[in-house]
Structure 1
Amino acid sequence: MKKFGNVYLIAAISIIGGGLFGFDISSMSAIIATQPYLCYFNQGDVPCTGPTSNVQGGITASMAGGSWLASLCSGFVSDRFGRKRAIMLGAVIWVIGCIIVSASQNIAMLIVGRVINGFCVGICSAQVPVYISEIAPPSKRGRLVGAQQWAITWGIMIMFFISYGCSFLKGTGAFRVPWALQMIPAIVLFFGMTILPESPRWLASKDRWDECRDVLVLTHGHGDVNSPWVAREFAEIKEWIEIERQSKQISYLTLFTPRYINRTHIGLFTQIWSQLTGMNVMMYYITYVFTMAGLTGNTLLVSSSIQYVINVVMTVPALIWIDRVGRRPTLLVGSCLMATWLFVNAGILGGKGTPVPGGVNGIKEAQVQVTGAASKAVIACSYLFVASYAPTWGPVSWIYPPELYPNELRGKAVAFATSGNWAFNFALGYFVPPAFETITWRTYIVFGVFCVAMTIHVFFMFPETAGKPLEEVTEMFEDPAGIKYIGTPAWKTKNFYSSTLRMEGGDLSGKRMHSDDESPERREATEPEKIV
C-alpha cells in the first residue's frame, strides 16, 4: 500500500487518538447534568438526582484508571510491535469500549465500558506523541506533537455539541446516541494509520535500516535520496543507536538509574503538573461551576460550550509559535496566569458566595451561589483560565516528555510519564465532586497553590529542548560515552529554532546548534563537514 510522507498529514491522522480523550471529557460534562442521565442512573431516594457524589467521581475517574494501566503497558506494546500498530490497537479497543458504554444497563456496566475506553486513551496518549516526535523535523516537532492537544480540544467541543443536541431526545437516547457516535473517529484513525509510515527511529532500533532511510527520504527528503538533511539525520540515528546498545538491557528500572533519573522526574512531573492545574477536572465538572454562578438549563450548557470554543481557538497560537518561543517560557507564563484566575475565583466565591445547603437546583456539588457582578466574574475567570491553559500547559505537556529521552528508552519513558497524567487524572476526577460538596470554593485554592509550585519547579529544573534534534537533546544530559555530566542550569538553556530551520533547508555549512555547556573539543568532534 502506498505510504504518504507529508508530516502534517501524518500528524492530522495520528492525533485523532488524542481527540478520543477529548470526546470522552465532554461526553461526561455535557451529560451528567441532564435529566435522562440523572433519572436512569439515580441512586438516591429522591427521583432523578443521579449517582451520589462519590459514585459520580468514580464513574468519571474510571476512564483515567484504565488509561493509567494501559499507558504503562503501552511502552512494551510500542517497543515490540511499533508505534503505528500500538495506535491502531488503541483504536480497536476504543470501539469495543464505546459499544459497552452506549449499551450500559447500570452503573457497573458504564464503569466497565469507560475503563476499556481508558485502555485506548492510555495507549494513544502515550504513543501518539512518541510517533510524531520520532518522525517530525526539529523545527516543526513542537507544533506537530502539540497538535495532539488541539485534537483533544476539537474532540471536547464537537462531542459537547453532539451531546447538547442529543439532550433534546427523549429517554435514554439522550446519552446512548452520543456515546455510540464516539466510535466514528476511532474507525477513521484505524484505517487512516494504514497509509502512514512507521517511525524511522523504531525501525532503526530493529535494524531495519533500509526502511528507516526510506521513511526519512519520504518524510524529510521529499523523495530526494541525496538530501543532506536525510544523510545527517540517518547518521545521527545510527550513531546513537550504537551508543545505546552498549548500555544494559532497557527496562522501566533503567529510568531510575543515575543516568536517567533527572529526565525521568522532569517528564513525569510535566504530566503530573498538567493535571494539577485543574484544567481537566474543570472541563469535566464545568456545569457544577456555572451552576454556582446561577446558570440553569440551556443557558448553562451554552455557557459551558463557550469555554470549549475558547479552548480550540487559543490552542492555535501554540501550534504557530511554540517552536519559536520555546517550552520553558510557555510553561512559566501559563502557570502564573492560571494561578491568578484560580485565586480570584476562590476570592469571589468565598467572599461573595451564599451557602446553599443541599445544593443549587438540586446539584449537590454546587453548595455556594453567587449572583450579579460576582457571577459574571466567576464565569469570566473560568474562561480566562481556559484561555491561559490552552496555549501553554495543554500542548507543551505532550510535546516536552518525548523530547527528553534517547531512542531505545523513549517508548517506555513517555509511557511512564503519561501514566502520571492518568494517575492524577483518576485521583482528581474522583476528588472534585466531593471537594465541591465539602470544601466548596477552597477547591480553587488547592489548584492555585499547585500552579505556584509548578512555576518554581519549571524555572529551576526544566531545560529548554526546542529546536534541537532528539539526539542533541540527549547530549544536554550526557556525553556520547554515557558518562554522567552536568550541563548549564535549566534557566540558562537556549532555543535553537532558527539554526535548526536553516539546517533543515539544506544549509549544513554553518555551526551546529550547541548548548552552552559543550566543550570546544566536543563541538569540534560533532561538527558536520561543509557540503559544497
Structure 2
Amino acid sequence: MRDFTERWPIGPLEKGIITAALELGSLMGALAAGVLADHCSRRISILVACVVFCIGSTFQFAAETLFQLTLGRAVGGLGVGALRYFLQLHVAIPELNRSSSMLAPLYMAEISPPEVRGSLMALEQFAIVLGAVLGFWTGFFTRNVSGSSSWRIPLAIQLGPGILLAIGCLFLPPSPRLLVMQGRTEEALSALATLRRRSPEESISDPLLQIELLEMKTEAALIARAGTGSERDLREFEGGLLRAEARRWMRLFGRKYLKRTAIGIMMMFFQQWSGINALLYYGPTLMHSIGLQGDIVTLMVSGGIGIVQFLAVLPAIIFIDRSGRKTLLRGGSVVMAFSHFCIAVLIWQYEDSWASHSLAAWISVGCVYLFTAAYGTSYGPIGWILPSEVFPLSVRSKGVSLSTASNWLNNFLIGLIVPGLVEFSASGTFLVFATACFCGYLWSTYTVPETANVSLEEIDAVFGSSAGQEDALLKQQIEEELGLHNLVQQWGLSTIRE
C-alpha cells in the first residue's frame, strides 16, 4: 500500500523478516501450547492465546516504527501458533472409526459426539480457507484509503475475531477428555452429561454416557502405560516431570516410530516447499514477476489464488477417502511440478519482453491457478490428515505436534527467503518449487503408505513394526480391566429385550 511503502521503504530482506516473524512466533506458540494444553483447561489455554494474539494485533495496527510492527507480528504469531495447535492437533478416536478419521479441532473433537465430528472437521477446514480469502480482499478494498488507515484498518480488524473468540471462551464447557486425563472422573462425567444434555441423575444411569466415559479413561490409560513402558521406566519417569516429558518425545525417534515420524515431518516439508504460502504471502510480487502490470490486475489475480484454493477444498472432502491419500498426493505432485516448471520456462523466455507477449503472461496465471487447485485437493488437506493416521494411538498427539512444528519451521523459511530469491531469479524460484514437487512425487510414490481404509496390521507391515497392533492389544486389555466390554454387552442385551 502506498502509505506503507512511502513510510517504510523496505527491501526484500526486510520484507522477508516482517513476514517470517509471524511464522517464527507461531512455531514458538505451538510448542508452548503443547505444554499449556496438558496442564490447564482448554478454554483457559485458548483464552490466553487470544489475549496474546490481540496484544500482537494492537502492536501491529498502532505501530509507529518498523520494529514495533515486526514485534507485533512475532507476538501475534505466538497466539496464532497456539490456536493453530488446538485446531490441528488430532485427538485419538476409537480405532473402529479409524477409516473416517481426519484432523479435528482439539477442543471440538473432545466435546463433540462422534456422529457429527466429521462434519465439524470439514467445516473447520472450510472456515480457515474462507478466512484467508476474506483477509486478502479486505486489504484489497482498503488499499486506496487515504493515509495510514489503508493498512491500519485491515490490521485492526484482526482484533474482532480475537476478542469474539476470547469472550466465547468464557462460556465454553470444560473438556471431559482433559478432566479424565487429569484423574477428575466425577467432574468429567458431569461435563459430559452437560454436553450431551443429560441431567445429573441421568448421567449415573445412562449406559451411553458411561460407555463414552470409559472410552476416554481407556485412551488416557493407554497413553500413560505406553509412555511409561516397563516398571523400571515408570520409576525413572517418576524422577522428574521434565525427564519424563523428554523420554516421551524421544520415543518418536526410536526404531519403532522413526519411519512414521519421518512421514509426518516430510509431509509438512513438501507441503510448504510446494510453494503455496509463497503465493499467498507474496502473490502481488510473484504476479509482477510473471509479467502482469498494474496494481489492480496484479492484486485481483493474486486474490483469485485464495478463491481457487477455497473451491478446491470441496471436491477434496468428497474424494479424499474414495481415491486414497497416496493417489491424490502423486497426482497433485505431478500437476504442481508441471505448473511450476511451465511458469519457470515462460519467465526465463519472456521476462524481458512481457509487454509484447501478454498471452504468455496469462498462460502463467493459468498455471498458477492450476497449481493452486491441485494443491487444494492434495497436499492441502492430506498434509494435516496423514500424520494423524500413521502414528499409533499412544504417540499420536506428540507425533502430530512434531509434524505441526515442521510446518511452522518450513513456513518460516519460505517467508524469509522468497523475496530475496524472487529478486535474484524469478524463474529460479519457480524451478525450486517445481523440483520440490517432483521430489514430493518420488517421496509419495516410494515412501508414503496408503492409509485410507487400511487396517492397523497393514500399516504396521508397511513400517516394519507392530506398534499399532501392540497399542490395540493394550487398549483391549485396559477395556477389559475397566469393565467396558461387560458394560457394552449388558447395554446390548437390554436393548434387544426392549
**TM-score of the pair, normalised by structure 1:** 0.73
1:71-470 paired onto structure 2 within 5 Å = 71-130=30-89, 131=106, 132-134=108-110, 144-145=120-121, 147-213=123-189, 225-227=206-208, 230=212, 233-234=215-216, 236-237=218-219, 240-241=222-223, 243-244=225-226, 246-247=228-229, 248=233, 249-251=244-246, 252-291=249-288, 292-354=290-352, 371-405=357-391, 409-466=395-452
Pairwise CA RMSD: 3.6
For 1:488, the equivalent position in structure 2 comes to: 461
**Deviation digits for residues 136-195 of structure 1, max 9, x if unmatched?**
677766664454443332121111121112112111110011101111111122223344
Residue ranges of structure 1 left out of the alignment (5+ in a row): 1-33, 43-50, 356-367, 478-486, 492-514
CA contact (8 A) 1:146 1:395 kept: no
C-alpha distance in 2, partners of 1:385/1:203? 44
Which amino acid is 1:116 matched to? Answer: V
**How far did 1:488 drift?**
2.1
CA separation in 1, counterparts of 2:474 and 2:219? 18
Note closer, same or farther for the CA distance 1:218–1:307 as it changes in structure 2 (3 Å cut).
farther
Whole-angstrom CA distance in 2 between matches of 1:332 and 1:141: 28
The answer to whether the 8 A contact 1:147-1:395 is kept is: no
C-alpha separation in 2, matches of 1:167 and 1:318: 33
Retained in 1: the 8 A contact 2:12–2:420? Answer: yes
In the other structure, the counterpart of 2:93 is: none
> CA 1:118/1:523 → structure 2, altered by over 3 Å: closer, same or farther?
closer
Give the direction of change, closer, same or farther, for the CA distance of 1:430–1:125 in structure 2 (3 Å limit): same
TM-fit CA distance, 1:419: 1.6
- 1:455 Cα deviation (Å)? 2.5
The residue type equivalent to 1:230 in the other structure is E
Question: Structure 2 regions of 5+ residues with no counterpart?
Answer: 90-105, 234-243, 494-498
Who is 2:98 aligned against? none
How many residue pairs match? The answer is 443
> Secondary structure at 2:207's aligned position in 1?
coil
More helix by share: 2
How far apart are the structure 2 equivalents of 1:143 and 1:107? Answer: 42
Contact map agreement 2:291 2:351 (CA 8 A) in 1:
no
Q: Do the aligned residues in 1 keep the contact of 2:18 with 2:70 (CA within 8 Å)?
A: yes
* Percent identity (aligned): 27
Change (3 A) 1:171 1:205: same
Q: Return the match for 1:41 from 8, 11, 16.
A: 8
Retained in 1: the 8 A contact 2:177–2:216?
A: no
- Structure 1 residue 324: Cα displacement: 4.8
| Distance (whole Å) between structure 2 residues aligned to residue 141 and residue 134 of structure 1 | 9
Mean alpha-carbon deviation: is it higher for 307-316 or for 96-105?
A: 307-316
Q: Is the 8 Å Cα contact of residues 181 and 217 (structure 2) preserved in structure 1?
A: no
- Cα offsets for 1:22-59 (capped at 9, x unmatched): xxxxxxxxxxxx211211111xxxxxxxx011111111
